[in-house]
Every structure is written in C-alpha cells, then in structure tokens.
Homo-oligomer: A and B are copies of this chain.
C-alpha cells in the first residue's frame, strides 16, 4: 500500500547514508523534496544519477548532504558547469564513481531482473574501467576471444523523483519517462512527489495505463505543486532559466551558495 505523506515526512523517509537514485534534469527531479532534505540536514547520501545529474546534486553536495556520487555527467544545462560539485571534488570532499550512461541503465536493469550482473559492449579501453574495481572484463563464455565488460547490478535503497500526476491508489503517470519505472523497479523503496492527485484510477483505461507506473512500486507520495522548480516538467512548465543563471552565479563561491540556500532552501 502506498502512503500519502507531507513533503517533510517524505524527506524523513530518506535516512542519512542512504543510496538514492535520482533522475536527469529533464525527467522529473524532486526539487521541493530536495530542499526539504537540505532543511532536515540529511548527511552522507550516496547519489546515483540515472544517468546524469544537475542542479539537485549540486545543491545537495553544496549543502554537505552527499558523501559519494555515481554519475556519467553533471552540469546545469545551459547554465554551465555544476560549481559546488566541482568545488567539493577539487577539495577532496566528495567521493566519485565515474561511469557512462548505458552502464547505469544496464546495472539498474540487472537489479530489476534480479540478476547479479549484466554484460555490456564497448567501454573497454576507456580509463573509466581502471577506476571501477567493481567492474570485470571477462571472456564471453559463448565465443572464443571475445572480451566483454560485466557490470554488477545496482539496487539503490531509494528512488526519488517527481511525476505530474498520481491517483488515490498510488499509481503514477510517468508517460515516456520510463527510466523512472526502471529506477522504481530496481530500488528497494520509491518516494515520489507529484503535481497533483486525482480520484480517477490511472489504470482504469488502457490509454492512461500505457504511461502509468503501478502503486506496487511506490512506497510513498507527497503532493508538491511546482515540485520540480526551478527545473521544468515536460508539458507543464519550462525550466526557470533566469533562476538557473542566478544559481550558477551565486554558487560560484561558497558564500554565494550559502546566501542562496538561506534564501531558497526554505521554499
């Protein structure tokens, strides 16, 4: 059964040290919940970006909430690089597991299928491999002389994201953003914010069912209108480019970032 919680109660569901999967900036980032996490002072998070990160990770890192991040890339879109991420990395204050997008997708699919590892083509010859002692290069057991990379499954403790719509049973409209389904399948618990909750069952007709993620996978939901701001949400609202530029400028310095947090983490 899916719980319906306040934003603060939802954020309380992510303990210090949790391994948290987060979506890319175009796919429903739970920014309101992220600010709630910062307010409650969460510490030691291990972030997994699926497969890339942006403002959310930069804010959490700057606020001292993150011990480690696994990511294929991180930036603020057109607002440029992720300043608090880069500062923390240069300061040696953040552990990083560098990876490549399809490796994250494949490792989550492995968790989704309950298999301990999954092979993936390419990648061998990239210096990424030497930085990942958890990866293995083996010989394809079916063909002589065919080296291939094996990735261990990744099953995060929590998947955290935002969707436009839920129903009272806890089903979610995710549309084409099926990486959200993969995240939820792979994760032990899935915490979600939504723009709104409707009475009508999203699975009741096949048209909406096609873009619906079942409540079977949803641990808890909090209503958070505009919950992705200042990022944008698909058809509903665009990224607040002016705010992104404001953040990018403020976060260039530790002091500017602190001032930004003081002003905006209350939202």
Contact = CB atoms under 8 A, between A and B. Distances in A.
A117 B141 contact: yes
A209 B176 contact: yes
Given A136-B141, A138-B141, A211-B211, A146 B206 contact: no
Interface string A141-154: 11100101010100
B117 A119 contact: yes
Assembly of this chain: how many copies?
2
Contacts of A176: 206, 209-210
A91 interface: no
A114 B118 CA distance: 12
Interface string A106-118: 1001000111111
A207 interface: yes
B207 A175 contact: yes
A87 to B, nearest CB: 35
Contacts of A253: none
A115 B175 CA distance: 27
Given A115-B119, A175-B207, A141 B150 contact: yes
Contacts of A235: 206
B138 A117 contact: no
From A106, A113, A142, A210, residue with most partner B Cβ within 10 Å: A210
B106 A113 contact: yes
7 contacts: A106-B113, A109-B109, A115-B118, A118-B118, A136-B141, A142-B152, A206-B234
